[in-house]
Amino acid sequence: MRLGEIAGTDSSAVVTGFALDHRKVAPGNIFGAFRGGHFNGEDFIADAVRLGAVAVIARPEATVEGAVHIAADEPRRRFARLAAKFYAPYPETVVAVTGTNGKTSTVEMTRQLWRMAGHRSASIGTLGVTTADDQVSTGLTTPDIVTFLSNVAGLERMGISHVAYEASSHGLDQYRAEGVPLKAVAFTNFSRDHLDYHGTMDSYFAAKMRLVDEVAADDAAAVVWTDDPRSDEVIGHVRKRGLRLMTVGEKGDDIRLVRRTSTPLGQQLDLAHDGKEYRLTLPLIGAYQAANVLVSAGLVLATGGTWATTLSGMARVAPVRGRLERAVISRAGAPVYVDYAHTPDAIEAAIAALRPHVEGRLITVVGAGGDRDVGKRPEMGRVASELSDLVIVTDDNPRSEDPAAIRAAVMSGAPGAREVGGRREAIAAAIAEARAGDIVLLAGKGHEQGQIIGDRVLPFDDVTVARECAA
Ligand SMILES: CC(=O)N[C@H]1[C@@H](OP(=O)(O)OP(=O)(O)OC[C@H]2O[C@@H](n3ccc(=O)[nH]c3=O)[C@H](O)[C@@H]2O)O[C@H](CO)[C@@H](O)[C@@H]1O[C@H](C)C(=O)N[C@@H](C)C(=O)N[C@H](CCC(=O)O)C(=O)O
Ligand SMILES: Nc1ncnc2c1ncn2[C@@H]1O[C@H](COP(=O)(O)OP(=O)(O)OP(=O)(O)O)[C@@H](O)[C@H]1O
Ligand SMILES: N[C@H](CCC[C@H](N)C(=O)O)C(=O)O
Ligand SMILES: [Mg+2]
């Protein structure tokens, strides 16, 4: 592609790609100079040009010499739009999911439902890029816009027609999860997280609403979970933008959850759709997993799926890695569950899912991540201790922080909790404590494969460690 076609200039220079880190600039690239949390990309413009950048997308006041200056008040947004033209084409049907919790689960179950309906489908998010044959981890939910667009385009070249991706609030705020025409968007729920980055709940919510306000295509559908305190506000955004609204939940019009009954292996859902009632046996426990599967079903219906196929697909949906995953049953007979709950609301949801299955005590192991929202720590401790019979506070990716200080913050909300530094020791203590009839919940790490301490990532998998401790 020529620069003129991409940027609307008269340049005939050939564009070979896009780069947002000057160290990755190759001759013919367009460089995006962004001001970030640690660096000002504008400081690297001269280096990028020396390395062969033909154009630089930067604020009007930035200095660009020796290459075309594509001036934009919001360079990240312009970069996303122009890069999206370059990396096209994309799969025919792409949808995006936002919300505090449930994004990964929803995109993954949407992928499964499409697949069961006969489509070649993929999901992109915290678990990486998942297709029917493969799962490739990317490290972050949305690594960066260039990786994102190349991944989606790569899926199209593999013959994938349906993609569901996770739009995190960081990704939306930094314009790194967009550019691909969207057939539908979805909202799962909203609660406290990431206030270290967004500052206030309202600006966190506003970041998420970019998906509805700007990122969705004009003719997209918006699937909204109705049973969240912010759902009506989301619906307001959908109406204002003029998207096709579909509502799902106890107050939903398109899929209404009439009744939910826990069973030993899952739950029975009575659903109303199009004036009729249906009974679904879902092979997953917990209200939160029912909510996510119903939002997934909404996305499938929004993109042309039929009710009959979607309903039968839901009955066969497979568990999502690290979301209420049963790791092992201890020698005493207590099941040990691993769940990615790392917000107060998620801990509440995970415990609520397990509670109906607990005959004795619920023992929760919990910690909070370093270099992340500090205020959520005592809240996580409080929810865990109010809803569990025993809480063990431990470490979860301390990153650059002092693990003892993070534990102290969690402990401050959890009177009576036991503190065990070292996640393996904490898991061992919980399993040793558990008797028949008890359930152990290991919260916070889910599918993660490492414990991040300082700059190092030490191999760590809650499921494996639980099995070792139970052996
Ligand atoms: C706080 C945050 O989100 N930061 C992300 C952001 O970095 P940034 O723009 O602030 O980068 P910066 O390091 O200040 O650099 C500014 C610019 O200078 C450029 N640069 C920098 C140095 C240099 O030598 N040359 C150069 O060109 C950089 O490429 C960048 O464009 O953009 C980068 C790529 O576009 C991301 O990798 C990076 O994620 C960091 C590593 C991170 O940990 N992010 C987490 C919090 C995150 O985003 N998580 C969410 C999931 C959350 C959830 O689901 O709950 C996610 O979507 O993964
Ligand atoms: N619909 C929901 N309502 C409340 N809690 C939920 C819901 N879905 C998931 N959770 C909780 O959040 C955890 C993470 O779920 P999931 O990975 O699907 O969310 P996510 O939004 O992708 O998270 P992240 O922001 O870290 O990427 C689950 O393990 C569960 O504890
Ligand atoms: N996407 C989330 C994941 C948190 C997982 C938890 N194990 C932690 O490290 O806090 C984040 O980056 O905040
Ligand atoms: Mg996720």
Domain with residue 295: its CATH number is: 3.40.1190.10
- Looking at residue 196, its pLDDT comes to 84
The residues facing 451 across adjacent strands are 458
Which atom of ligand 1 approaches the CA of 177 most closely? 57
Closest atom of ligand 2 to CA, residue 292:
1
Q: Which residues form the pocket of ligand 3, taking CB atoms under 6 Å from any ligand atom?
A: 342, 369, 372, 396-397, 444-445, 448
Query: In this structure, are 50 and 125 located in the same domain?
Result: no
> Rounded CA gap, 89 and 455, in Å?
38
Sorted by sequence, the CB contacts under 8 Å of residue 175 that are 6+ apart come out as 74, 76, 77, 79, 80, 145
Give a yes or no: residue 110 inside a domain: yes
| Distance in Å, CA 107 to ligand 3 centroid | 18
Q: 397, 399, 448: which to mutate for ligand 3, most atoms within 8 A of CB?
A: 397
Beta-carbon neighbour count of residue 27 at 10 Å?
Answer: 11
Map residue 100 onto helix, strand or coil. coil
Burial of 150 by CB count in 10 Å (0-12 exposed, 13-18 middle, 19+ buried)? middle
Q: Which ligand is nearest to the CA of 346?
A: 2
| 426 CA distance to ligand 2 middle (Å) | 23
Q: Which ligand is nearest to the CA of 56?
A: 1
Query: What's the rounded Cα separation, in Å, for the pair 185 and 245?
Result: 10
Cβ pair 296, 262 in contact under 8 A = no
ipTM of model: 0.95
Considering only CA atoms, which residue is closest to atom 3 of ligand 3? 342
Binding-site positions for ATP read 99-105
User: Is the domain of 339 the same as that of 301?
Assistant: no
* Separation of CA 238 and ligand 2 centre (Å): 23
- Ligand 1 site, CB within 6 A: 20-23, 34, 36-39, 41, 44, 140-142, 144, 168, 170-171, 174, 176
H or E element at residue 335: strand 335-339
- Max Cα-Cα span within the chain: 74
* Residue ending a domain, choose from 270, 292, 314: 314
Using only C-alpha atoms, the chain has a radius of gyration, in whole angstroms, of 23
My answer on whether 305 and 178 are in the same domain is yes
Q: Are residues 94 and 82 part of one domain?
A: no
- How many separate domains does the chain show? 3
As a whole number, the mean pLDDT across the chain is 96
Beta strand 135-136 with 128-131 is: antiparallel
Whether the CB-CB separation of 334 and 440 falls below 8 Å is answered with yes
DSSP code for 396: S
Contacts by residues 347-351 (CB-CB < 8 Å, ≥ 24 positions apart): 347/380, 347/383, 347/384, 347/387, 347/443, 348/383, 348/387, 349/101, 349/286, 349/287, 349/288, 350/286, 350/288, 350/324, 350/441, 350/443, 351/383, 351/384, 351/387, 351/388, 351/441
**Residue 11, pLDDT score:** 85
Asked if residue 319 is part of any domain, the answer here is no
pLDDT in tens, the chain (471 residues): 899 998 888 888 999 999 999 999 999 999 999 999 999 999 999 999 999 999 999 999 999 999 999 999 999 999 999 999 999 999 999 999 999 999 999 999 999 999 999 999 999 999 999 999 999 988 889 889 999 999 999 999 999 999 999 999 999 999 999 999 999 999 999 988 888 898 899 999 999 999 999 999 999 999 999 999 999 999 999 999 999 999 999 999 999 999 999 998 899 999 999 999 999 999 999 999 999 999 999 999 999 999 999 999 999 999 999 999 999 999 999 999 999 999 999 999 999 999 999 999 999 999 999 999 999 999 999 999 999 999 999 999 999 999 999 999 999 999 999 999 999 999 999 999 999 999 999 999 999 999 999 999 999 999 999 999 998
Q: Which ligand is nearest to the CA of 322?
A: 2
Q: Which residue positions form the known binding site for meso-2,6-diaminopimelate?
A: 372, 396-399, 444, 448
CA 350 to centroid of ligand 2, rounded, Å: 9
SS3 label, residue 289: helix
Q: Are residues 101 and 37 in the same domain?
A: no
- The CATH number of the domain holding residue 431 is 3.90.190.20
Q: Which is the closest atom of ligand 1 to the Cα of 48?
A: 27
Q: Is the domain of 97 the same as that of 70? A: no
Are residues 295 and 379 located together in one domain of the fold?
A: no
Q: DSSP state, 318?
A: P
The total of other beta-carbon atoms located within 10 Å of residue 400's CB is 10
Task: Mark which of 30, 65, 86 sits at the end of a domain.
Answer: 86
Alpha helices in 199-302 (DSSP H): 201-210, 231-241, 287-302
3-state secondary structure at position 313: helix
Give the number of other Cβ atoms within 10 Å of residue 5's Cβ.
13
End-to-end Cα distance, the chain = 59
Residues 153, 252: one domain? yes
Binding residues, as ranges, are 20, 99-105, 141-142, 168, 174, 176, 372, 396-399, 444, 448
The pLDDT of residue 7 is: 85
Q: Do the domain assignments include residue 320?
A: no
Select from 294, 210, 212, 222 the least CA-distant residue to 251.
Answer: 294
Which domain, by its residues, includes 287?
88-314
